[in-house]
Structure 1
Amino acid sequence: MGSKGTAMAEGVAARAAAVAILDGVLGEGRMLSDFAGGDLSPADRARALRLAETVLRHLEPADRLLDRHLRKAPPLTARNVLRLAVIECAEGAPAHGVVNAAVEIVRKGKRTAHLAGLVNAVLRALPETGLLDGASPQKMPRWLRQPLVHAWGRDVVSQIEAVQATEPPLDLTLREGFPAPEGELLPTGSLRLRGAGQISALPGYAEGGWWIQDAAAALPAVLLDARPGERVLDLCAAPGGKTLQLAAAGARVVSLDISGPRMARLEANLSRTGLTAELVVADALTWEPDGAFDAILLDAPCSATGTIRRHPDLPFVKDGSEVTGLVDLQARLIDRALGWLKPGGRLVFATCSLLSDEGEDQLSATLDRHPDLTVERIDLPGVEPNWWTTSNGLRLRPDYWADRGGMDGFFLARLRKPA
């Protein structure tokens, strides 16, 4: 096979893998993070994931276009091949190569080979340009969209959906005095990159001068404001961006998480940055510390609905049924954490959720159980006054900084224990 044939085969391999990923997400409820890559090269694995993510961000508009040319719904795999082809053509890929690859993928499948003619006919019937121009952004599922419309109105929710439909930039948390890549310095201090390329080749990586962390995810540690020498607990710590922030501030950090494999990632990042923390793999509901803490950061398990811009598979693998159990778990973790604080100590509670059940309402319930707590609002660089709630919680939304690429949705609150 010549070089042209090899390139074609590699292109088909990445596309076929993208279709398999979509089958797993949409047919089996599997997360994108479950995709191992098999025998793919690193470049093909990265391409397959990017293609699958892009399809998931535009699934609804792609289906609206395809349904005009389909008499009945094809099997899932064939539909995913068609969706992928639509998205690639909408991104400007040469239509001839996209159609040929799509037909080849379908033809090679035992259950889809008979649909090769259909796929070819549908794709050749599509417009050559402007496939998704003017299409409205994909909507969030009803179980999530409805409470958000009730809380913020349809215009805000539509703006959030528009941000979620775009590929997010990459944010870095920087350390003073270390090299860093060129990028946009955000008002809160994070560095935003677009088209970053190979992460390990960027300036400052080898020196441990920064780590990947969404700008919104960096704010809980900023709100905690750990001081040098303080004994600080990072509760539910993995994969560890907040532990790195706390350690870089000079705190004596204990990092606890229930997941050993995720804590291994934190250990690797500590090694790369030269920072130190005591790592504990344990269940926070049964673990007991050997002493009280000056401050605790609890980034609690949650629905992760604030991270859809970076994890477009979430709306397809979750149905909201887990939220009630997560709210209960968050409350139990808050109560345990408060018991580990020194008098006058502070706790930052955070969730990367858009739902008030896991944010504003959770704060209200906490104050009902612990009326002696104070909710502290402090000045944070780059944080707009209207991001604060009337209860002194900090509500972050994906539509904030929409012109810059948005941010993850979060809710934060800083609680002070009486002295």
Structure 2
Amino acid sequence: MNKKSDPAGLGLRLIAAQRLRAVLGGEHFAPLNAGELADGRDRALANRLITTALRRHGQIDLMIDELLDKGMPAKSGTFEAVLRLSLAQLVFLPDLGAHSALFLAVEAIKRDSKARHLAGLMNAMLRRAQSNSARYGLLEDELLVPQNFQDKWTAAHGTEAVAAFPEALLEGAPLDLTLKSNDADLISALGAERVLADTVRIESRDRPVDALPGYDDGQWWVQDAASALPARLLAAKPGGRVLDLCAAPGGKTAQLLKAGYDVTALDSDGGRLERLKANMTRLGYAPAVVEADATQYAPEALFDGILLDAPCSATGTFRRHPEVLWHRSASDIAGRVKLQQAIFAKARKWLESGGSLIYCVCSLEPEEGEEIAAWAQKTFAELELKPIAATELPGLEAAITPEGYVRTLPSMAPAGVSGGMDGFFIARFQRKN
């Protein structure tokens, strides 16, 4: 890689293949950064190839089933990742050219000692795909969402909403920012539009996040519009002590500090807490930071408010993390439900009389959202549900359920705003006096 004799574009394809291979193996997708691929144009192209392969995963599965008679070869290194990148380019990114898709795929395979014996197979498969590219380009978008999720989500959220999920997946997520202050000049400089409260949205950008106006002096932080809702709905007393559970990377922590609360941010992951600390330093905020397992934590005093953004399946984030559609299983979700219940059961003990508790997850799964809220109401007599009123979410009233929960969907956006939002569930409780 990076040898002068290497064909143009091969280096970025090798890096893209390694990243996609890791995601296919179960890792969380994160776009390549400048430290991994220095040239901005190469980095943008590599990320475009990876995200297209991930978003089109279901359709590419069908292609591979047709093209590969005996199934994916075992212990074949980067073969599958290179194949998926190349199919994504051939069928869905025609502007990049068919020739480079075929040529660079074979060259990439030749560089992998565990896959080079499959170079001939790669070439034959891609040539067959090229001859069928027009038909493959017309594959149904329903293939983009696994059938098990389609059925489950249709039952939970309705046919119309779920029918719009493939489009939301393909469009991806815009860049949402939460502002420290209502600065019209900054919004203009960012080229952003107002979304809801102090959230603004940048639909398209040609600069990395850290090069946008206001980044260096901490005037905003990245936070999806849906993720910004829970902290706004916490009804703790002004200036009260608030615990942000599972806090990293710190968007909700920043919101709570901006609201004037005395905030303790807790997370069990030391690496993610370092990121939270760096974010707080940039923003000029100074919460108390605790590294601890939420199920083992023992605070010295009770809190006036607790925000529990519980570990979850994260299926509501599929616009930016398409891999969750293929990585999540029923047993995986069931394990997370047990953890959510364990943390909730602990957290409610740390709440002052009259205190407010927000439970939220970036999940589309009823087991992690509505069913946890119903379980909590039945299980903990000292808590009462405090329904969220339409007046608290002007422009997003459609997200409020009859029970007074909030349920956002990737196909949903505040009135007059395009681009959707993450799937989120929010319920608010109060400890009885």
1:56-71 → structure 2 map (5 Å cutoff): 56-65=54-63, 68-71=66-69
Report the CA distance shift for 1:342/1:71 in structure 2 as closer, same or farther (over 3 A): closer
> Could you say which residue in structure 1 is the equivalent of 2:359?
349
SS at structure 2 position matched to 1:96? helix
1:42-191 → structure 2 map (5 Å cutoff): 43=40, 44=42, 47-65=45-63, 68-73=66-71, 75=73, 77-89=78-90, 90-91=92-93, 92-125=95-128, 126=130, 133-137=137-141, 138-177=143-182, 179-180=186-187, 181-191=190-200
Which residue among 424, 427, 433 is the counterpart of 1:410?
424
Which residue among 389, 392, 405 is the counterpart of 1:393?
405
1-side partners of 2:182 and 2:409: how far apart?
31
Amino acid at match of 2:168: V
SS at structure 1 position matched to 2:106? helix
Give the stretch that moved more between structures: 299-308 or 133-142. 133-142
Report the CA distance shift for 1:225/1:136 in structure 2 as closer, same or farther (over 3 A): farther
1:362 Cα offset (Å): 0.7
Question: Unaligned stretches of 5+ in structure 2?
Answer: none
2-side partners of 1:128 and 1:332: how far apart?
51
Q: Is contact 2:280-2:286 (8 Å) kept?
A: yes
1-side partners of 2:157 and 2:431: how far apart?
31
Report the CA distance shift for 1:103/1:325 in structure 2 as closer, same or farther (over 3 A): closer
Amino acid at match of 1:363: A
Q: TM-score, normalised by structure 2?
A: 0.86
Deviations 1:100-152 (A, max 9, x none): 21121122233433433443344345159757544322443344333212223
2-side partners of 1:73 and 1:183: how far apart?
47
Say if 2:329 is the partner of 1:319: yes
Q: Is contact 2:31-2:47 (8 Å) kept?
A: no
Deviations 1:159-199 (A, max 9, x none): 12321233221111111155341112214542111343211
Deviations 1:257-304 (A, max 9, x none): 111111111100111010121101111222111212111111011111
- Identical aligned residues as a percent: 37
2-side partners of 1:204 and 1:36: how far apart?
20
Report the CA distance shift for 1:267/1:233 in structure 2 as closer, same or farther (over 3 A): same
Report the CA distance shift for 1:245/1:7 in structure 2 as closer, same or farther (over 3 A): farther
Amino acid at match of 1:377: I
Q: TM-score, normalised by structure 1?
A: 0.89
Which residue among 28, 31, 34 is the counterpart of 1:31?
28
1:45 Cα offset (Å): 5.6
Question: Unaligned stretches of 5+ in structure 1?
Answer: none
2-side partners of 1:25 and 1:35: how far apart?
12
Q: Is contact 2:236-2:356 (8 Å) kept?
A: no
Amino acid at match of 1:15: R
Q: When the two structures are aligned, how many residues end up with a matched partner? A: 415
Give the stretch that moved more between structures: 353-362 or 193-202. 193-202
SS at structure 1 position matched to 2:274? helix
1:380 Cα offset (Å): 2.6
Q: Is contact 2:396-2:413 (8 Å) kept?
A: no
Which residue among 200, 203, 225 is the counterpart of 1:215?
225
Report the CA distance shift for 1:8/1:216 in structure 2 as closer, same or farther (over 3 A): farther
2-side partners of 1:34 and 1:323: how far apart?
25
SS at structure 2 position matched to 1:24? helix
Give the stretch that moved more between structures: 216-225 or 318-327. 318-327
Give the stretch that moved more between structures: 62-71 or 313-322. 62-71
> Could you say which residue in structure 1 is the equivalent of 2:338?
328
Say if 2:204 is the partner of 1:192: no
1-side partners of 2:305 and 2:39: how far apart?
41
Give the stretch that moved more between structures: 316-325 or 345-354. 316-325
Report the CA distance shift for 1:225/1:131 in structure 2 as closer, same or farther (over 3 A): farther
Indicate the RMSD between aligned Cα atoms, in angstroms. Answer: 2.9
Q: Is contact 1:303-1:323 (8 Å) kept?
A: yes
Give the stretch that moved more between structures: 359-368 or 54-63. 54-63
2-side partners of 1:10 and 1:212: how far apart?
34
1-side partners of 2:221 and 2:259: how far apart?
15
Which residue among 292, 297, 302 is the counterpart of 2:307?
297
2-side partners of 1:214 and 1:83: how far apart?
29
2-side partners of 1:127 and 1:273: how far apart?
53
